[in-house]
């Protein structure tokens, strides 16, 4: 996929918002998950319990998560931990993913709350209209280029399949990401900018692991469920993403309990 035009549109969207910048930078076999459809969209919200601008974005993401064609993920980061409250859900891996996105886009924009849409455009996470615009733009860019992905489990085995590239499309080698999800968490904040609030989080990514690569040919892989799941997680997501932080060209969601 070509990103030049997407990056310029991303920059235009970012300029319309006022981002907050950090000062320093075994069950029975189940039916396979639905094959990825052209309309599926992946939203990643980089948020922090220490950011007073983030709760509205957490609410925005929860509303998008209700849509059947959206995989909405909360990616808690630790960039505000120095302000007096250590984020109880944050992961350095999430913070690094946000940095890699900024480097890949070339705009250097790292802030909270930020939603990355389909791996391509970053917008203010509390601005639902900007998210909608980014969804529309990236859907146009990905039209006809998404790869069907299936994901299901059979007792202690997780199975993933990705289809071959459609004729006439060329892709960079893609990473197969496996993310384990906690569907909901309520966190009382005792210090920092959100002191006294209880924040509700939706689809929190507790771990995201690269489990394979896709080079345009049909792919099938298996994972041991007990090896990849984490405490408090009750769902999982598979993402097919060009490079490490490029366009997300395929995705599938599966509840595991």
For 156-185, what is each residue's pLDDT tens digit?
899 999 999 998 888 999 999 999 999 999
Q: What letters, b where the CB count within 10 A reaches 16 and e where it falls short, cover 67-104?
A: eeebbbbbbbbbbbbebebebebbbeebbebbbebbeb
Q: Which residues are CB-contacts of 48 (< 8 A; sequence separation ≥ 6)? A: 54, 76, 77, 78, 79, 80, 81, 87, 90, 112, 113
Its sign, for the CA torsion 135, 128, 50, 204, is negative
| pLDDT of the residue at 257 | 54
Tens-digit pLDDT profile for residues 224-254:
888 888 888 999 999 999 999 999 999 999 8
Residue for token pair 């097919």: 240
What burial class does residue 111 get, using C-beta atoms within 10 Å of its C-beta: 0-12 exposed, 13-18 middle, 19+ buried? Answer: buried
Task: Sheet containing 41-47: give its strands across.
Answer: 121-124, 114-117, 41-47, 70-76, 198-214, 174-188, 235-242, 248-255
How far is residue 225 CA from its own chain's centroid?
21
Residue 33's alpha-carbon distances to 44, 148, 150, 189, 192, in angstroms, are: 20, 11, 6, 36, 41
pLDDT(116) > 90? yes
Q: Which CATH superfamily is domain 4-25+27-255 in?
A: Glutaredoxin (3.40.30.10)
pLDDT(21) > 70? no
Its sign, for the CA torsion 48, 50, 52, 56, is positive
Strands 121-124 and 149-154 turn out to be unpaired
Prior bond of 197 cis (ω within 30°): no
Average per-residue pLDDT for the chain: 87
Q: What is the pTM of this model?
A: 0.86
């Amino acid at each position: 996929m070509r990103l030049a035009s997407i990056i310029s549109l991303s920059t235009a969207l970012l300029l319309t918002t006022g981002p907050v910048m950090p000062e320093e930078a075994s069950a029975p076999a189940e039916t396979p998950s639905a094959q990825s459809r052209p309309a599926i969209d992946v939203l990643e919200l980089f948020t922090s319990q220490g950011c007073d601008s983030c709760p509205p974005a957490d609410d925005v993401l929860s509303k998008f998560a209700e849509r059947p064609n959206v995989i909405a993920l909360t990616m808690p980061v630790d960039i505000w931990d120095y302000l007096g409250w250590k984020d109880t859900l944050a992961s350095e891996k999430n913070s690094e993913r946000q940095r890699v996105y900024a480097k890949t886009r070339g705009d250097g924009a790292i802030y909270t709350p930020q939603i990355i849409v389909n791996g391509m455009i970053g917008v203010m996470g509390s601005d639902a209209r900007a998210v909608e615009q980014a969804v529309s733009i990236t859907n146009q860019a990905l039209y006809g280029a998404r790869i069907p992905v299936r994901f299901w489990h059979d007792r202690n085995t997780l199975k993933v399949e990705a289809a071959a590239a459609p004729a006439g499309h060329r892709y960079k080698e893609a990473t197969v990401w496996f993310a384990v999800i906690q569907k909901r968490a309520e966190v009382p904040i005792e210090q920092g900018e959100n002191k006294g609030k209880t924040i509700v989080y939706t689809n929190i990514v507790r771990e995201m692991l690269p489990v394979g690569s896709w080079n345009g040919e049909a792919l099938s892989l298996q994972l041991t469920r007990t090896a990849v799941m984490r405490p408090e997680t009750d769902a999982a997501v598979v993402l097919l993403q060009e490079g490490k932080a490029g366009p997300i060209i395929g995705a599938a969601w599966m509840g595991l309990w």
